[in-house]
Amino acid sequence: MQADITILGGGPVGATLALLLARAAARPENIVLCRPRRPSVAPATAADPRSMALNHGSRVLLASLGAWPEGGADILDVHVSQRGRLGRTHISHADFGVPALGTVLPYAAIVEALDAALDLSGITIRAGAPAAILRHDGDRAVVRQDDDEWTSTVCVHAEGGTFDHQARNDLHRSYRQHAILAIVRASRPRPGWAWERFTDEGPLALLPYPAGAARDTGRYAMVWCCRPEHAERLASLDDASFAQALGRAFGARLGDFAAAGPRHRYPLGINLRRKVVDGTRVAIGNAAQTLHPVAGQGMNLGLRDAAGLAEALAPLLRNPATPAAPLLAAYARARAADRWVTSGLTDFMPRIFATGLAPIEHACGLALLGLDLSRTVRGPLARQLMEGLR
């Protein structure tokens, strides 16, 4: 088989790219998406405990592909504060004329909606062992998955992943923080509000969580970033002690907490490729950059990678004889600013609030206060986090 484009990795970013390409391709069957085999009983992703805050731009993109999952919890207002220090800022959807700043969805719901749309797309989906590029045959790559081999004009790395201490890239830094993830319940929930609280160990976020079929309201997806040894202790507490610890760290704004369900732990760091293109190979999403989850940017940025790449590859889809390398080089140039600004923001925020130096932390608190007073600064910051650079 000869493919025009092969995508290695059918996570949210790879799947979105596949759908965008299928829409523009004269022969969608020449686009190959390689993903792991999903178990027949439960979706493979059901075990993934991450909740994703997707911004307005991502929602518009997925909805346009018929892959926007129903039932997400909208974020109308975001409250940002710093524990034990002056300063807070409030960002509201009303300030930007959008129906919501973002929507919280389980990772599994996003993948399932994309999978359903892929089934109708006409592209070639290969499910099996991890796919790999074996070698180059002239200007075409030879790709293998299980016992099948084929050649491809362009190969897209969308294998994703979370921060890995072993994987080295141009910018590789561990924050010496772990994220604890859990679904918690608040006794005085505030519908539509998300909370981001900077502590001296890292940010603590509470995001409104979908009520689900059981109409179970008052739940929050918690992402608590703290030192690894603290995270280990938090993970081993019983539910009641964990809920009390959360109350002490977050404060009394939402009443008392109750822990509902298991806790999961992720090591955090940044792992960024400076060069995302090598000839006719290109990396997008987490394969190109793994970020700190502060402000929920990783998937949003990856979806913008997918949109940018689909646009760049349009001439190849119209005419498979078009040389691919210049198209990919143009893609890399066009995406550079958004990648660096978003990565820079998510790299800066968790470190600056956790310096342990009181004057710096007070200054950050004042900056938050300043942000609250100044629409001119707050607007561009929120817009970058909501839509990225277009």
CB closer to ligand FAD, 136 vs 264: 264
Instruction: Give the chain's radius of gyration (CA, Å).
Output: 21
Shortest distance (Å) from residue 102 CB to ligand FAD? 8
Asked whether the beta carbons of 177 and 214 are under 8 A apart, the reply is no
Stretch of residues binding ligand FAD (CB under 6 A), selected from 63-71, 155-163, 191-199, 255-263: 155-163
Q: Which of 17, 22, 25, 35 binds ligand FAD (CB under 6 A)?
A: 35
Q: Is 50 in the site for ligand FAD (CB under 6 A)?
A: yes
What is the DSSP secondary-structure string of 194-238? EEEEEETTEEEEEEE---TTTT--SEEEEEEEE-HHHHHHHHHS-
Token pair in block for residue 150:
């084929």
Distance CA 181, CA 183 (A): 7
CA distances from 212 to 4, 70, 106, 241 (A): 40, 10, 10, 27
Residue closest to 59 by CA, chosen among 25, 93, 36: 93
CB closer to ligand FAD, 153 vs 346: 346
Q: Is 212 in the site for ligand FAD (CB under 6 A)?
A: no
Residues 264-323 that bind ligand FAD (CB under 6 A): 266, 285-286, 293, 296-300, 302
Q: Is 141 in the site for ligand FAD (CB under 6 A)?
A: no
Q: Which of 53, 67, 123, 317 binds ligand FAD (CB under 6 A)?
A: 53
Shortest distance (Å) from residue 98 CB to ligand FAD? 17
Asked whether the beta carbons of 112 and 247 are under 8 A apart, the reply is no
CB closer to ligand FAD, 65 vs 361: 65
CB closer to ligand FAD, 341 vs 363: 341
Asked whether the beta carbons of 41 and 25 are under 8 A apart, the reply is no
**Contacts with ligand FAD, residue ranges (CB under 6 A):** 8-14, 34-36, 50, 52-53, 130-131, 158-162, 179, 181, 223, 266, 285-286, 293, 296-300, 302
